Chain A
Amino acid sequence: MGEVLSGSRQREVAGALRAFLPARAVLYEEEDTRPYECDGLTAYRRLPMVVALPETEEQVRRVLQTCAAMGVPVVPRGAGTGLSGGALPSGDGILLSMAKFMRILRVDPLARVAVVQPGVRNAAISEAAAPYGLYYAPDPSSQIACTIGGNVAENSGGVHCLKYGLTVHNVLRLRGFTMAGEPVELGAEAPDAPGYDLLALAIGSEGMLILVTEVTVKLLPQPQFAKVVMASFDDVETAGRAVADVIAAGIIPAGLEMMDRAATHAVEQFVGAGYDLEAAAILLCESDGTPQEVEDEIRRIREVLQRAGASRMSESRSEAERLRFWSGRKAAFPAVGRISPDYYCMDGTIPRKRLGEVLNFIGQMETKYRLRCPNVFHAGDGNLHPLILFDANRPDELHRAEQFAAEVLEKCIEVGGTITGEHGVGIEKINQMCVQFRPEELELFLAVKRAFDPAGLLNPGKAVPTLARCAEYGRMRVQRGKLPHPELPRF
């Protein structure tokens, strides 16, 4: 559907929005809507029928009410940095950009909270809190660009979430609307809001349950001091075991990251972080706290890493050097983007003890699909980001990359992990949901979605596959030899 129908439908929907939105806030000419055709997952593109850019909560409510009444799908969008296609438009729907909601409404240094609009950039919150010695802890690598609204949708993590938690641990309250335009407030500044924890349900729901218009976040005191140890290892499995040894020693580092040689080489050309290019893998292990505390913990970390077989170790001697060590890790994706025309970033999480096995498997897949795959790894959390390099202009490479990714994700499930740790399912991993979850679990997700959005208009078709889609994918989980829903067509 779409192309033929959309001409008159487009005029009708745009006209309805123009009744309460200024002309500049309703885009439908292709040259204006083109920038919204994809998010950070550029392999999937679709032009939205209409783009709406409301500025007030009242306008958002009316957009939703109008769309609900007309049966028009709504896809919310923050900065469009998402990596799973969560903001991929519907061809017959509205792309609802929250870009104009960029005000920081309140920073309360005594209560240590900030109330912000969803279009505020992640890093801007910490910048606003800095004069009070406070910051917002989750720090996804895209933090200079990504918005808090998008972080809420995806439950974003970052390199410090082992110690400081994910978005769900650092957001206290959400304000927004259901698809019907009913106002809702989930959570509270006071702890343990009464009733079910709908805040936990909404965070990470990929913009499918409510449309968020205001976010209250927790601010933490900035650590006085931090230091990073960089340790080199001759093989990745030894590095993986060293991670477990650090945890076994009772240490929860502020950050614990691993990069393999392919990744350090890509990064070093790009930012010159000072990584050991000889090592098969490097670990970055950060300690924060008072200066004495950090010296004490760094000493213990070095002892553990030494015993675990580190071949070389160095530590940051200044704040500039510490930031330089991290800059390489945070620039890993763009750095890889420079050595390959395209790359496909995966996001599986595994039990740390299976790391060696999974990395070996990825190595086999490199041979099988004839594609290279550097690895960066939130080692402390078990969250892998293999980056499959390909060239979309070469016949078949995108297809091979997708098959490569699908096999790795299914391996993550097999070892007891998950297909996505922090990037979300979106459109990208929707087929693997059929492998990770059983049909009744998927049905429950769909029923939860209907409880919030009976007509299924808010970000439809993302994150949770229909059973029909799973049947088509042919990877439905089968229990006790019986296929569920035998009435569904199979392909």
Chain B
Amino acid sequence: MSLESLQNAIRDAAASRAPLRLRGGGSKDFYGNEARGTVLDTRAYAGIVSYEPTELVVTARCGTRLSELESVLEREGQCLPFEPPHFGAEATLGGCVAAGLSGPRRASAGAVRDFVLGTKIVDGRGRVMSFGGQVMKNVAGYDIARMLAGTLGTLALIAEVSPKVLPRPADELSLKLEMPLERALETMNRWAGRPLPITASAWHDGELAVRLSGSEVALRSAREAIGGTALDAPEAQAYWRAIREHTHPFFAGSEPLWRIAVPSAAGRLRVEGKTLIEWGGGLRWLRSAAGAGAVREVARELEGHATLFRAADKSAGAFMPLPAQLARLHRELKDVFDPAGILNPGRMYREL
């Protein structure tokens, strides 16, 4: 598949004002609001364009499977530092960046957007443009490349991305500790304020798990500081994979799943339901049948926001509504990138 064919599809759709649904492997079809329009499948626009491990950057086309990209990096002892969830074997790099979802390493390493160095896009007029580049530091022009992470394909088709990559940790060790919720929140925040190599944390049902990454000597001293019981390596890997991919039993069943982001030191969520906490307290997964208004109010009180992540009924909107001034800026930007309003309309907000 050529870039021209993607451009042509978008140009034609713009001319006839026919909505397009940009789609990679479809692993994140559930995410956001209902997608509508003719599917523009990006999977055939795939492949790694360039990769030089010592430059700490890889450039790949949007249809490249995430699993393929990760195994190429792994062969060179490197990784995508934000540890993205796949949510399915078909997950693509383009979908990963468009969704902007990061995994367990988010609190220590950063989010998808923190690692986007550059991108080549096709905008809503079918124009190909490049922003950012393949170098670590670049402040020429506005940071469009980073901003596009998490836009759910509503501004442009992300045709090619250059994420920064990092060496895989030399060693990892996961520990489990019994701990009630409030104490776990405080403990995770206290640990994060000390120079400990914590790269993942999860609390559920009275049990706190933390992962340490680094050199053997670093892990040894951190283990003494933290205590708890060590998991053996395969068990630890399986555990973090289950948290990342939502195959942990907490995520099973059909009760609505909320993704609530709050300042890490915020207290417990004052709402009925079961919780699984990640990112040192910053991410609270909630299974609850409570109404969307109530859940969002609880998140707002904690200066956070609540996303209806998986649910049969998303009529309340997947994402928290924006304040009026921000909503206006969003509409203006949508108009800049996609004046015909054909790219994934409504996927993020109804008016975008």
Contact = CB atoms under 8 A, between A and B. Distances in A.
Interface of A: 108-113, 132-134, 154-155, 157, 161-162, 165-166, 168-169, 178, 182-186, 188-198, 200-201, 203-205, 209, 221-224, 244-245, 247-248, 250-252, 289-290, 292-293, 296-297, 349-353, 378, 380-383, 416-425, 429, 433, 436-438, 440-442, 444-445, 447-452, 463-464
Given A112-B193, A195-B322, 13 more contacts: A110-B193, A166-B137, A168-B146, A190-B304, A191-B111, A191-B279, A196-B155, A197-B146, A292-B221, A381-B136, A420-B140, A421-B138, A441-B141
A110 B218 contact: no
Contacts of A198: 147, 326, 329
Q: Which of B107, B123, B147, B167 has the most CB of A within 10 A?
A: B147
A182 B123 CA distance: 28
A189 B283 CA distance: 12
Interface residues of B, number: 84
Given A192-B150, A452-B329, A463 B141 contact: yes
A196 B53 contact: no
A194 B322 contact: yes
B89 interface: no
B140 A433 contact: yes
A133 B135 contact: no
B193 A109 contact: yes
A130 to B, nearest CB: 13
A350 B140 contact: no
15 contacts: A110-B189, A111-B265, A186-B326, A190-B304, A200-B146, A201-B147, A222-B195, A247-B53, A252-B166, A289-B195, A292-B220, A292-B221, A293-B221, A350-B135, A382-B136
A445 B305 contact: no
Nearest to B128: A440
Nearest to A219: B193
Contact of A251 (B138, B167, B220): B167
A161 B221 contact: no
Contacts of A205: 142-143
Contacts of A353: 52, 54-55
Q: Which of A162, A247, A419 has the most CB of B within 10 A?
A: A247
Nearest to B327: A195
Interface stretch (B3-11, B172-180, B256-264): B256-264
Interface stretch (B39-47, B62-70, B232-240, B330-338): B330-338
A200 B305 contact: no
A297 to B, nearest CB: 7
Nearest to B190: A110
Contacts of A132: 193
Contacts of B49: none
A134 B196 CA distance: 13
A433 B140 CA distance: 7
Given A133-B193, A200-B113, A351 B55 contact: yes
A201 B143 contact: yes
Contacts of A296: 215, 217
A349 B137 contact: yes
B307 A194 contact: yes
**Shortest 4 CB-CB distances between A and B: which pairs?**
A421-B137, A451-B332, A250-B167, A111-B265
A420 B167 contact: no
Contacts of A203: 143
A137 B130 CA distance: 30
B144 A444 contact: yes
A190 B261 contact: yes
Contacts of B166: 252
A197 B155 contact: no
Contacts of B77: 250
A200 B143 contact: yes
Contacts of B131: 441
B24 interface: no
A448 B114 CA distance: 21
A176 to B, nearest CB: 11
Contact of A448 (B133, B144, B149, B170): B144
B149 A419 contact: no
A111 B189 contact: yes
Contact of B139 (A193, A245, A350, A425): A425
Contacts of A448: 142, 144, 333, 336
Nearest to A208: B142
A382 B137 contact: yes
